[in-house]
Structure 1
Amino acid sequence: MPAGSDGPGGSGAARALPSLPHTWRPLGVRIAVVGFGLMLVVVCVAAWFGFDASVRDRFSFLQRLTLVLLGAGFAVCGWALGRARVTAEGAGLVVVNGFRTRRLAWEEVIAIHLPEGAPWATLDLADGTTISAMAFQGSDGRRAVHGVRAVRELIDRETGGS
């Protein structure tokens, strides 16, 4: 059942809200970043040392620099994906997506949704805009659904909603 379909409290069972501050992070994305990153490093190092010295010597300084910069670019992108998080604090939510951090007071946050098939959750804000909450990845399944429900209950508690 998608997280967007349940109202506050889910199926009516009383659940304890997380103590604040509480941070949610995506699991699948972090595993993929670390796993594929390590595989890429292993393959590149094995290929480099698999070449004999005459082949390695034909690489110019600029070609080697290009390879290092490409590796650094992949590392930076992986770091940006892996640092996504949502932290619930006494004053509100801190949403980190990639390199951007947004601090939202509880009064600014109206709702959170994770429709079935969506890549990540979305926060509806009081000014009529929305922002992504990439900490709740649809690919994380039940883990993301439970996180969205917990944030929804915190929003209701902190704003005095129904």
Structure 2
Amino acid sequence: MSSREELERPIRPRYARIVGLVLGVLTVLGAVAIMVLVPLVAGVPLGPVDYLGTTALALLICWFLYRQASVAAVPDDDGLTVRNLFLTRTVTWPEIVSVRFGQDRPWGYLDLAEGEELAVMALQQADGAYGRTEARRLATLVALHEPGRH
């Protein structure tokens, strides 16, 4: 992989993905355990609504964990697509003024030309040095796409 390809690969958090996967597996195992063990151990029969409710709750939790684990910032020639927990937004390179990633915030932010800021949950403080390296990589991409630098 060339250094340009390495620079332009998607930015993804490290620990959020691991935690999401582990909690997803635990959620599924917990739901199955509830549906199997409650009738056996407690002697309380579960009806179809109980099974449906437990399954629906487990699926909802797994969906949320999937969204958290799949946050990313994906660069391309035109700009950056930022996928956060609930919203996905694409901004062009000229719209991005700077990248901020400081100790006082849980994730990174883009300062945009119109004065707005955009959270980039793919840059996580919880990732420590890895997160700082990814923030520098994103700042480098922004600098490379400044007008007149092509």
What TM bracket, shorter-length normalisation?
Answer: 0.7 to 0.9
Question: Which ranges in structure 2 are unaligned for 5 or more consecutive residues?
Answer: none
Give the structure 2 partner of residue 55 of structure 1.
43
- The correspondence for 1:108, drawn from 95, 100, 109, is 95
Contact 2:109–2:118 (CA under 8 A) maintained in structure 1: yes
- The correspondence for 1:141, drawn from 118, 128, 135, is 128
Task: Give me the whole-angstrom Cα distance separating, in 1, the residues matched to 2:13 and 2:118.
Answer: 16
Give the structure 2 partner of residue 40 of structure 1.
27
Letter in 1 for 2:128: G
Worse-matched range after superposition: 18-27 or 143-152: 18-27
Taking a change above 3 Å as real, the CA distance of residues 145 and 116 of structure 1, as seen in their structure-2 partners, is: same
SS of aligned partner of 1:68: helix
- RMSD, matched Cα: 2.3
Task: Give me the whole-angstrom Cα distance separating, in 2, the residues matched to 1:60 and 1:21.
Answer: 52
Q: How far off its partner does 1:115 sit?
A: 0.7
Deviation string, structure 1 residues 15-63 (Cα, Å, up to 9, x no partner): x66546420101101100111121222233234333429836x222222
Q: Which structure ranks higher in relative contact order (CA pairs < 8 Å, sequence separation ≥ 6)? A: 1
Question: Which ranges in structure 1 are unaligned for 5 or more consecutive residues?
Answer: 1-15
Contact 2:123–2:134 (CA under 8 A) maintained in structure 1: yes
Contact 2:96–2:142 (CA under 8 A) maintained in structure 1: yes
SS of aligned partner of 2:80: strand
Task: Give me the whole-angstrom Cα distance separating, in 2, the residues matched to 1:122 and 1:89.
Answer: 18
Q: How far off its partner does 1:117 sit?
A: 3.8
Give the structure 1 partner of residue 107 of structure 2.
120
Q: How far off its partner does 1:108 sit?
A: 0.3
Using the size of structure 2 for normalisation, the TM-score is: 0.86
Using the size of structure 1 for normalisation, the TM-score is: 0.80
Q: Percent identity?
A: 24
Letter in 2 for 1:116: Q
Deviation string, structure 1 residues 69-98 (Cα, Å, up to 9, x no partner): 111110111111111000121111111112
Pair 1:90-2:67 in alignment: no
Give the structure 2 partner of residue 65 of structure 1.
52
Task: Give me the whole-angstrom Cα distance separating, in 1, the residues matched to 2:12 and 2:118.
Answer: 16
Q: How far off its partner does 1:160 sit?
A: 4.5
Give the structure 2 partner of residue 11 of structure 1.
none
Worse-matched range after superposition: 109-118 or 19-28: 19-28
Contact 2:31–2:55 (CA under 8 A) maintained in structure 1: no
Taking a change above 3 Å as real, the CA distance of residues 141 and 18 of structure 1, as seen in their structure-2 partners, is: farther
